[in-house]
Amino acid sequence: MFVRLIRSRGVGALALAAALLPSVVLAQGATSVLTGNVVDTQTHAPVPDVVVTATSPSLQGEQVVVTDSTGLYRIPQLPPGTYTLRFEKETYRPYTRTGIDVAADRTLRLNLELLPEALESETIVITGAAPVVDVGSSAVGATINQDFLRNFALSRAGGIGGAVRSFDSIATAAPQAAADLYGISISGATSPENSYLIDGLSVNNPAYGVLGTPLTVEFLDEVNVITGGYMPEYGRTTGGAVSGVTKSGGNEFHGSVWGTFTPGALQGRAKTVTTAGAVVSGKRELYNIGDFGATLGGYIIKDKLWFFAGIQPSFTRYSYTRQFYIENPGQTDADGNQAYSLIPNSDQRRFADEKSFQFIGKLTYLISSDHRLSLTVTGTPTTGGSDAAFSVRPPGGLANRAPFALSGYTFQTFNSNHYLTNDTAYDLSGELNSSFLDKKLLLDVRLGWHHQLDEGAPGDGSGFDNIHHLNTLAGIPSLQPLYVSNVLDFEDQVPASVRDACGTGDRTTKCQTTWNLYGGPNFLERQTLDSFQGKATLTYLLAALGHHVIKAGVDGSLSYYEHLKTYGGGAWYFDFGPGGVAPGNSLGVQEARRFGFLSDIDTPTGNGILTVKSKSVIIGGFVQDSWSILDKVTLNVGLRWDGQYLYDKDGLLAMKLGNEWSPRIGFVWDPTQQGRSKIFANYGRYYEAIPLDIADRALSGESLVIANHDCDPRVVGVAGCDLATANRGSNIARPNVKWRNLAVDKTAVDPNLQPTTNDEVVAGGEYEVFPSARVGVSYTYRNLVRTIEDMSADNGNTYFVGNPGEGIATSFPKATRTYHAVTVQFTKNFSDLWQAQVSYTWAQLRGNYEGLFVNGTGQLDPNINATFDLAQLLVNQDGPLSGDITHTIKFFAAKEFIVTPVLSLTLGLTYTGASGPPISYTGPSNETGYGPGNVYILERGQGGRLPWVHSVDARLALNLRLGKDSVISVGVDGFNLFNFQNPIRVDEEYVVLPSLTGGGRDPGPIINGKQGSVPPPYGANGNLPRGGVVAGPNGPELKTVVLPDPDQQPQTYAINPNWGRALQYQAVRSFRFTARFTF
């Protein structure tokens, strides 16, 4: 610690040595603590009965305590802010310490020595920079505060934060945190496994586990990212915790007005995704994105009743364009594939739109010096789509943070992807902080309600009530063709040039393609979610062989999920083409999904709409002790218990997880005993909070009816594709029966089901190298003990829910996921006009279980993904997982340059670099019905790795100070300044077609196969060769390779020429312009 002695008159404060020792005890809610020991500078004996007073612009009134017999004082339940502490006692010189920055959920330790009055006649003020080493906690994480938000370009436009710049998007600044498809991956886990909190209220989506309230950073004071090592107060997460603390009012009025705009016209040029053998190509670009808003905080009654309010409208528009091509007969391109020519004037463009309006209102009421009440309400209503525009996120992908995939425009009709969306979250929470026994006994009580509505309805506004009215978009079913044909057979909205080129002459050889979907809208849904939460925590300070901070608490939540699901026209059809189902059929179709049941043989019943109501009850309790042993070493010990109970659509208990005991133990030791260093270690067991999707789909059953038909459902509707047009069963299993049931039963659950369990060890050390700066190294180990998944032992006919490898699922391999990470980090807090944060992480993520969603397909069905459904598809799946990123570098450096006393320039530079994830050789499992990407031909990750991804970002802002607290800033954030365009996703399907021999089989796994040692007769020279086109006896044909089929018999397969080609590149360069007035 650096101490600077200043002789000054009249200040009346004095001390000789003051050590400010920040220690982190991650409490629930926005409550922080200032604590420390006071000793006599002469005798070094503890000084009891010292009156300690805390004041702050963030604090209503003042908080006063006295030191105990050991000289310890403790001021709890403080909101974040900058504090002044004053120490007074007769016969001692008063001492005042200013500028103590207290972040949320922190305990700062300020030890000091008081000078007896008789000792000196001068007043001495000691100032010193606060030590930055957290010596009280073994929790690992990062805090992104206002300094960081002001100085760096964060939350890239078009990234997961969206136009609102949601608070979780800035968590990527923390080591061991990275963006994934649905949010932030922390320490190798998937984003739905995290706990998302705003002022201690859980804002997870109760059905899917992802973030439910994407609240803007503009309403928040700071964001804490906790990556591991936390106390039992935090439970029910196998990922990390991302916790936002909202701003509050004060005894002075303050606020801001701002606007940001990112024009798509200034974006860098994007690399085009090329696919061999395509009649249509497409491009998706950000068109524009922006937000504006205002916040105001202040008082209604000074020191008694404060308020904070804010609004933020925002908008997003993406542009989707496509062009059409036609075959050049007999010609091949440079790669040896069929050559195509662009059809002139075939450009088509549509937009995807989304608008949001966020708001916040907060009251803080000081009932008395020992009791404070705060109430917060937030809202994030968001709508998407219009008459002529797509929504940014369609139903079935409402939880996506990115806009819908390009193929949803390129290879689909507009009507089949045209939706109006509504995603709204409202949160209401209240917190009571009370203290008793001179603040030795604390009570914190929180009650909250999280409400969500997520809806995807037909784009013409016809809603859910018109699915049987063919004259509305809602009434038109969608069809998925499973054959190749002329593009005009699927797409009816094409430019005239395409109609001329593809529609004249021999249509059977021109413009041959398949299509994702045509007809009307596909999946339609409305999700209504409510989570009622309550928590009460008692804290007691006990002096015994040092000091104990003993906490105990209970918490619980009651969550409800109502899910309306249907399809356009009431059903989605597979289209097998003319004669595809039975000879003579003009259009052979079969329901892919139609909700209903058989009331009698061949009697489908139900209107195609399924509404399911499910609920869960979660309760927990914990006890913990943070024991400062003789004030030398801190031992953190605790035990947590949780119980989770899920109820099906009939209100019956369907899943019970009641044995969730979570021990935690850790220590923190400061070798210097001066708050300049620490060595720490922590062990903890964690359990997953099971989202309600499993209760909605598996535990309640999702009854479907299916038949084969000879009809066009777009013309006659579902009613016309009913019994009269249904064919008899195509096999002896259903003689004379046209309709069959699927997935009717509630999925059976292993009676000895155990919860998803993760063990974690963190260890490391930190050292303060100079004021406000520290270096540290940490090691994190996480091991998945078991998980919950649905499985089928009979090739997909029936399913059950269990723990793979245990209980009734012993015929399945265990789910494994092991994470190791070493992080080296340097952090300099903002002081002397500059700050920096540099980290390097080496990590390894191995196993056969990715988490609560499947990276390859994007399926988000927590604990009932397709991954573990069939044991035979798990072969070769052990290896480096999609989140296995070996090297990650994050560099942040910012400086404020003073130009004149009222003008300054802020420059913040960021570099992030990450090595690439593994690439695999996969193939389809169509015989089981599971489709592409489900067979691992070689061991996972044998296809090499994607290249490094780099990004250089910068913020440049000009700040004009108008008054004491008033500043106007204008600036620009540049993301990916050098427009690096490395691929971030490639095609991993090595085989897409059935075998050319053996009757058309799926590919099978080469058991424990590795590139370089592929055994004969498979592959070529020990490897799986790349694909391409070779001259064949009948013209150009795809290269082939010998692979095993599922029965391990050698067969010949055509190699996918697109294997290894990029499917997606990193986001292009973009610029966000900002203007802000802060007062």
Partner 1 sequence: MFKPSFLVVPLLVMLAACGGEVNTTCLVQRPGLGGYLFVMDRTGAVTGGAGCDDSVLPPRLADNLRFDKLGAEQREVVFRAESMLPTDADGNPDFPASTGDVGRGQIGDSPDAQGVCTVPTFTTANAVAALSDGNPPNPPRSVTLTNTRFLSAPEYQGSQAESDATYTIGSCSASYHGLLLTPIATCATDADCNPFADPANGRAAGSGVNPLYPVSCNMEVGALYGQDPGTGICWFTGSTFPQIQK
What is d(CA 754, CA 758) in angstroms, rounded to the nearest whole number? 12
Q: Are 935 and 1003 in contact (CB under 8 A)?
A: yes
Which helix or strand (DSSP H or E) is residue 502 part of? helix 496-503
**What distance in Å separates the CA atoms of residue 91 and residue 50, rounded to the nearest whole number?**
11
| Phi and psi at residue 288, to the nearest 5° | -160, 160
Q: Which two tokens stand for residue 448?
A: 């909250």
Identity of the residue, 302 or 656, whose beta carbon is nearer to partner 1 in the bound complex: 656
Cis peptide before 947 (omega within 30 of 0): no
Closest approach of Cβ 745 to partner 1, in Å? 6
Q: Which residues of 492-523 are buried (b: 16+ CB within 10 A; e: fewer)?
A: eebbeebbebbeeeeeeebbbbebbbbbbbbb
Residue 238 near residue 788 (C-beta atoms within 8 A): no
Give me the least distance between CB of 1003 and partner 1, in Å please. Answer: 11
Reduced to 3 states (helix: H, G, I; strand: E, B; else coil), residue 586 is: coil
Q: Which of 810, 820, 814, 812 is nearest to 781 (CA)?
A: 820
Binding segment for partner 1 among 306-314, 599-607, 672-680, 988-996 (CB under 8 A)? 599-607
Site size for partner 1, by CB under 8 A? 67
Q: What are phi and psi of 527, to 5 degrees?
A: -110, 125
887 part of the interface to partner 1, by CB under 8 A: no
In angstroms, give the least distance from the CB of 652 to partner 1: 4
CA-angle at 349, arms to 346 and 353, nearest 5°: 170
Residue 1047 makes contact with partner 1 by CB under 8 A: yes
Q: Is residue 900 a contact residue for partner 1 (CB under 8 A)?
A: no
Subset of 111-170 contacting partner 1 (CB under 8 A): none
Candidate segments 125-133, 961-969, 1043-1051, 1053-1061, binder of partner 1 by CB under 8 A: 1043-1051
Alpha-carbon dihedral 678, 680, 686, 689, rounded to 10 degrees: 10
Residues 517-546 close enough to bind partner 1 by CB under 8 A: 534, 536, 538
The site map against partner 1 for 620-649 (x = CB under 8 A) is: -x---------------------x-x--x-
The minimum distance between CB 600 and partner 1, in angstroms, equals: 6
Any idea what the Cα angle at residue 597 is, between residues 595 and 600, rounded to 5°? Answer: 155
Per CB under 8 A, 654 contacts partner 1: yes
Interface segment toward partner 1; rule CB under 8 A; list 153-161, 195-203, 312-320, 1040-1048: 1040-1048
Q: Rounded CA gap, 467 and 477, in Å? A: 8
Using rule CB under 8 A, residue 814 touches partner 1:
no
Confirm or reject binding of residue 1046 to partner 1 (CB under 8 A).
yes
Least gap, CB of 584 to partner 1 (angstroms): 17
Which of 664, 746, 774, 1069 is in the footprint of partner 1 by CB under 8 A? 746
Q: Looking only at residues 79 through 118 of this chain, which bind partner 1 when binding is defined by CB under 8 A?
A: none
Say whether residue 611 binds partner 1 (CB under 8 A): no
Given the complex with partner 1, which of 383 and 741 has the nearer CB atom? Answer: 741
Closer CB to partner 1, residue 42 or residue 811? 811
Binding of residue 692 to partner 1 (CB under 8 A): no
Residue 115 near residue 124 (C-beta atoms within 8 A): yes
Residue 561 Cβ, how far from partner 1 at the closest point, in Å?
17
In the complex, the smallest distance separating the C-beta of residue 954 from partner 1, rounded to whole angstroms, is 51
**Is residue 447 close enough to count as binding partner 1 by CB under 8 A?**
no
Mark 399-438 with x for binding to partner 1 (rule: CB under 8 A) and - for no binding: -----------------------------------x-x--
**In the bound complex, what is the minimum distance in angstroms from residue 719's beta carbon to partner 1?**
20
Whether residue 980 contacts residue 949, with contact meaning beta carbons closer than 8 Å, is answered with yes
When asked if residue 505 is in the footprint of partner 1 (CB under 8 A), the reply is: no
Nearest to partner 1 of 736, 1021 (CB atom): 736
How far apart (Å, rounded) are the C-alpha atoms in residues 914 and 168? Answer: 20
Nearer to partner 1, 371 or 685 (CB): 371
Give the residue with the Cβ less far from partner 1, 375 or 742: 742
Measure Cα distances from 896 to 899, 955, 957, 958 in Å: 9, 11, 9, 10
Q: CB of residue 612 vs partner 1: minimum separation in angstroms?
A: 14
By CB under 8 A, residue 775 contacts partner 1: no
CA atoms within 13 A on the CB side of 823: 30
CB nearer to partner 1: give 536 or 681. Answer: 536
Cα-Cα-Cα-Cα dihedral sign, residues 594, 597, 601, 603: negative
CB atoms within 10 A of CB 73: 24
Residue in 142, 223, 524, 808 binding partner 1, rule: CB under 8 A: 808
Stretch that binds partner 1, among 413-421, 491-499, 959-967, 1042-1050 (CB under 8 A): 1042-1050
* Shorter beta-carbon distance to partner 1: residue 128 or 556: 556
Q: Within its chain, how far is the Cα of 534 from the centroid?
A: 24
Q: How far is CA 144 from CA 102, 131, 292, in A?
A: 13, 18, 22
**Which residues from 702-731 bind partner 1, rule CB under 8 A?**
728
Does 871 sit near partner 1 (CB under 8 A)? yes
Considering the complex, state which of residue 601 and residue 899 has its C-beta at the smaller distance from partner 1: 601
> With b meaning 16 or more CB within 10 Å and e meaning fewer, what string describes 548-573?
bbebbbebbbebbbbbbbbbbbbbbb
Interface with partner 1, residue 2, by CB under 8 A: no
Beta strands 887-900; 124-128: pairing state? unpaired
Among 398, 668, 854, 875, binds partner 1 (CB under 8 A): 875
| Residues 6+ positions from 737 with CB-CB distance below 8 Å | 601, 602, 728, 729
The residue (of 734 and 961) whose beta carbon lies closer to partner 1 is 734
How near is the Cβ of 606 to partner 1 at its closest, in Å?
9
Q: Does the protein bind partner 1 through residue 745 (CB under 8 A)?
A: yes
SS3 state of residue 469: coil
Contacts of 652 (CB under 8 A, 6+ apart): none
- Is residue 793 within the footprint of partner 1 (CB under 8 A)? yes
Strands 305-332 and 338-342: antiparallel
Q: Residues 84, 88, 92, 94: what is their CA dihedral angle, to the nearest 10 degrees?
A: 30
Question: Does residue 368 bind partner 1 (CB under 8 A)?
Answer: no
926 binds partner 1 (CB under 8 A): no
How many C-beta atoms lie closer than 10 Å to residue 601's C-beta? 10
Tell me 848's DSSP state. S
Q: Where are the alpha helices (DSSP H) in 95-179?
A: 146-151
Q: Nearer to partner 1 by C-beta: 644 or 778?
A: 644
Answer for which of 274, 331, 811, 1052 binds partner 1 (CB under 8 A) is: 811
Of 453, 619, 681, 996, the residue at the interface with partner 1 (CB under 8 A) is 619
At residue 977, the 3 state secondary structure works out as: coil
Answer for which of 508, 599, 900, 1034 binds partner 1 (CB under 8 A) is: 599
Please tell me the distance from the alpha carbon of residue 459 to that of residue 457, in angstroms, as a whole number.
6
Report if residue 1048 touches partner 1, rule: CB under 8 A: yes
Contacting residue, 122, 334, 794, 999, with partner 1 by CB under 8 A? 794
Compare residues 379 and 604 and give the one whose CB is closer to partner 1. Answer: 604
Please tell me the total number of residues recorded for the chain in this structure: 1079
Residue nearer to partner 1 on the CB measure, 122 or 600: 600
Q: Which of 817, 888, 954 is nearest to 172 (CA)?
A: 888
Positions that interact with partner 1 (CB under 8 A): 434, 436, 441, 443, 534, 536, 538, 554, 556, 597-602, 605, 617, 619, 621, 643, 645, 648, 650, 652-656, 658, 728, 732-737, 740-742, 744-746, 748-751, 793-795, 797-798, 800, 807-808, 810-811, 870-872, 875, 1004-1005, 1007, 1046-1049
